[in-house]
Structures are given as structure tokens and as C-alpha cells.
Chain A
Amino acid sequence: MSAIDDITIELNGEEQTFSVEPGVPLRDAIRNELELTGTKEACEVGECGSCMTLVEGTPVKSCLIPAHQADGKAVTTVEGLADRSDDGEDLHPVQEGFIEEFGMQCGYCTPGFVVSSVAMLEENPDPSREEMKQYLKGNLCRCTGYTKIFDAVEHAAEQYDG
């Protein structure tokens, strides 16, 4: 096996093949090789959740996943959440929720929160505030105190219901 390997993932519905060095995390591959920068880098050690990514629909911190492990798998980043099946672009209800409730201040943590929230609502479309707190524990926001973020997720959950 060479020092650089080719990896193929289905990124946001589109098959992508790229080269990656051993031990490079999935996040760096997404940002540097595939040039999608919605997956943020911040803490580097799996504490902040800014790099949250769905691998086969499961939320993981992509700074802690070797890119090799995503080979052959479906990967969804924040860029892949909006519905572009028609000509336009319909934002995901969670994205709408963050806009409607202004669930952000500086916005750096927002993509991570959005991705985690999408995964949570897939599992549990009507979470209580306590369930939200537990599920979103892996995402840190240093601006908002979280209240507006939970409001945003609640707003999105109402769209899921109705």
C-alpha cells in the first residue's frame, strides 16, 4: 500500500474520488481535497462539534474520523442539506429554523449545530428541551448561551410535525 491512497465517497449525493495521506481526518479531506468549507475546523480534538458530518446518516466529529474509514460511504455535509431537486434551492427546515429564530451570533458553530440537529430530528422529530440538550452536548457555541439555538431547533421540529 502506498503512502497516499485513493478514496471514493458519495459526498452530498455525488461520487467523489480523491487522494488522501494516511491518518488525515475526514474533515481535512472535505475541506482541502473536496473544497467544501462549511465543515468548520476549530478545536482539533473532538470537543467542539464544528466539524459535525453525517456518515451514512450518523453524526460524527469529522476531525476524529480517518478519511480512509469513509471510503465507499455516503457523507453529508451542511452543503448537502438544502433540497436542490428543482431549479431553485429549498433550505432544510433546520436551516430555516436557525434563520427564523436567529439561532446564531458569530455563526462559526452553526453548520455543526445544523448537521447535528438534522440527525437528531431524524431520530426524534419532537424532542423536549432536555433531549435537545443531551443530543447537542457535542456542539459548543461560545456566543449565544444556547437558548436561541434550541428555539431554532424547536422551530424546525414544528415544521417536521406539520
Chain B
Amino acid sequence: MQYYQPGSLADAVDRLKEVDEAKIVAGGQSMMPLLRQGLISPDALVDITAVPDLDEVTASDDTVEIGALVTYSELLDAELCADLDLLRDAVEAIGDVPVRNAGTIGGGVSHADPAQDLPPALQCLDAAAVSFDGDGTRRHDLSEFFLDYYLTELAPHEIVTGIEFERPPARAGGAYASDTEAPGGWSTAGIAALVVPDAEDGETCVDARLAYCAGAPVPKRVPDEIESLLVGDRIDRETVDEVAMAIVDDLELIDDVGDDVEYRKHLFRVMTKRAITTALRRSDAPPLAEAPR
């Protein structure tokens, strides 16, 4: 195996193109376990940590750009995470301090583990992954980006250079709720919610976005017909229950050894309710309305 540390994106793409089976490594938190367990044996590792200009968080009033090499800890320290509860929740749910110190946002997204905590939050923010393939840059809608377990739209020599999204309006509220079997472990159910109340009356939900991880082969934006149940009125408890049940029906859980599908469904029901009610509480809308009797 060869180890390359290219100093530019173009150089990195060239290295990826010239070797049959090359893998990109950045923070190492996903790639190294695969290597160590013998699950992959690439001919070359292309370490992109020396590529310049990929480690900045750039946030204006409207748009946010996060470089691929920004670590989760750096993201948590950025002012952006103080403003965006949804993003902060999701980053805090990732692994533990040392994992967040090394793991990068570009690496996580490219690795495409279906149980990763951050993609659902990014999907709710309508984020795009920006990539470079040697000829030009492409933008990938993160709700379409993940194709299957550990599989994305990326070509083998294509490198994610960053994540971009537009800031949700200040009156919106967001939250990520998840559960893990052990502290620091993979999420067994994770759901992100973003709700936007009407600018005029302050309580009618005009936009609702939901996405989940660990419930399907990919981190998944919830189908529009489920999200739209929350839109058009003030959100009440009955509707939240209905949405939680609909999400449980949408899951593609595998009945695996040691896994209890019914319990996982229960977790998704609870986490969905928690995410939506917390998002609502953090928005400018009044708290959850009880269903009319």
C-alpha cells in the first residue's frame, strides 16, 4: 500500500485516478477501523489533510459553507453552532470528544454510514455537498446523495470539498434527538426536525423538515407527504403522534441478530416526538398545542 499526502486538490484527484483501488483518508475515524478490521485493503491511501483551504467555516447572515476538513470539534466551537440548535445537537451526538477532535464533516458525509448523526440535520437544512472531480465542482443535494449502505453519488476519484446550506429563518426551530445503546456508540435511532412558523401569525407551521438515520440503508429525508402533515396549522400533539407513527411505517429496519425491531420502532416514535416538540419550543411559535377535545 502507498500513502500519499498531496498538497492540492488537483494532485489528490490525480493520485485517486492513477491507482486502481485508492481510498481517501482525512480524520481517519471511519477509514482506520475499516482498515484495521481488514474490511478494506486499498492499494493506496490518499491523505487529504494537507490540502489547503478546506478547513474553514464561513457563515454569513444567509449562507453557510463548511470546509470538508473542518472537524466536529471545530464545528462545535464555531459561532454557527451557537446559533443553530439543530446542527449543535447533531454534532454533540457524534461519538465522543476524541472522535470529534479528529473526525471531519467531509469524511463523515462521504463515508455514508446509515447510522451517522449529522446527515439528517444537514438534510433538514437542505444542505448540499460540494465535490471536485479534477475537471469541475458539482453540488449534490444531500437528500439525494446517499444511494445505499456506504454508497454515495461520488465517483471514485471525486472528493467532497465542503458542505453548503442556507440559514433557516431566525423564527425557525430545530432539534436532533437520538438514542444509543452505549455512551459514545452508534445511534440506534436518530431524527432531526426543523419547523418554521408563519412570519405573520407566528404560530401556523409553514415549513416542516424531518430526516432520520439508523432506520434505513441511508440517512433519509422523510417523504413529503409525512412532513406536510405538520404544515398548514398550529402543530398539536395529535399531529405529532400521527407523524411519529407515519415515520415508523416508513422505516426499513432489518430483523438482525441481537436487534429488536419493535423496540427500535418504539425508539423512533419517542425520538420523533422529542425532536418535533423540542424544535417547536425553540421556534418563535407557541409550544405544542393539545389536541382539541
- Residues of chain A touching chain B, judged by Cβ–Cβ distance below 8 Å, are 1, 3, 5, 21-23, 25, 44-47, 49, 52, 58-61, 63-66, 68-69, 116, 120, 133-135, 137-138
Contacts and interface: CB of A to CB of B under 8 A. Distances in A.
A127 to B, nearest CB: 12
A64 B1 contact: no
28 contacts: A1-B2, A1-B4, A22-B44, A23-B45, A44-B36, A45-B33, A46-B32, A47-B184, A52-B98, A58-B101, A59-B97, A61-B99, A63-B36, A64-B32, A64-B33, A65-B102, A66-B32, A66-B47, A68-B3, A68-B47, A116-B98, A120-B97, A133-B183, A134-B97, A137-B96, A137-B183, A138-B98, A138-B99
A22 B36 contact: no
Nearest to A119: B97
Contacts of A23: 1, 3, 35, 45
Contact of B5 (A45, A68, A120, A134): A68
Given A3-B2, A60-B102, A66-B32, 14 more contacts: A5-B3, A22-B44, A23-B1, A23-B35, A44-B33, A44-B36, A45-B37, A60-B98, A61-B99, A65-B102, A66-B25, A66-B47, A68-B5, A69-B28
Contacts of B98: 49, 52, 59-61, 116, 138
B3 A66 contact: yes
B204 interface: no
Nearest to A45: B33
A69 B29 CA distance: 13
A65 B207 CA distance: 42
Contacts of B3: 1, 5, 22-23, 66, 68
Interface of B: 1-5, 25, 28-29, 32-33, 35-37, 44-45, 47, 49, 73, 95-99, 101-102, 183-185
A25 B32 contact: yes
Q: Is the interface of B mostly helix, strand, loop or mixed?
A: mixed
Nearest to A52: B98
Question: What are the 5 A-B residue pairs with the smallest beta carbon separation, nearest first?
Answer: A138-B96, A22-B3, A45-B33, A137-B96, A64-B32
Nearest to A20: B3
A6 to B, nearest CB: 12
Contacts of A21: 1
A65 B47 contact: no
Contacts of A58: 73, 101
Contacts of A66: 3, 25, 28, 32, 45, 47
A61 B32 CA distance: 11
A115 to B, nearest CB: 10
A66 B26 CA distance: 9
Contact of A46 (B4, B47, B99, B183): B99
Given A1-B2, A3-B2, A138-B184, A63 B102 contact: no
A65 B28 contact: yes
A22 B101 contact: no
Contacts of A135: 97
B228 to A, nearest CB: 37
A134 B94 CA distance: 12
B41 to A, nearest CB: 9
A3 B37 CA distance: 21
B49 A69 contact: yes
Contacts of A60: 98, 101-102
Given A5-B3, A22-B2, A137-B184, A44 B37 contact: yes
Contacts of B4: 1
Given A60-B102, A138-B99, A138-B184, A65 B32 contact: yes
A133 B3 CA distance: 37
B200 to A, nearest CB: 41
A4 to B, nearest CB: 9
Nearest to B92: A134
Nearest to B1: A22
Given A22-B3, A138-B184, A45 B25 contact: no
B102 A61 contact: yes
A46 B37 CA distance: 11
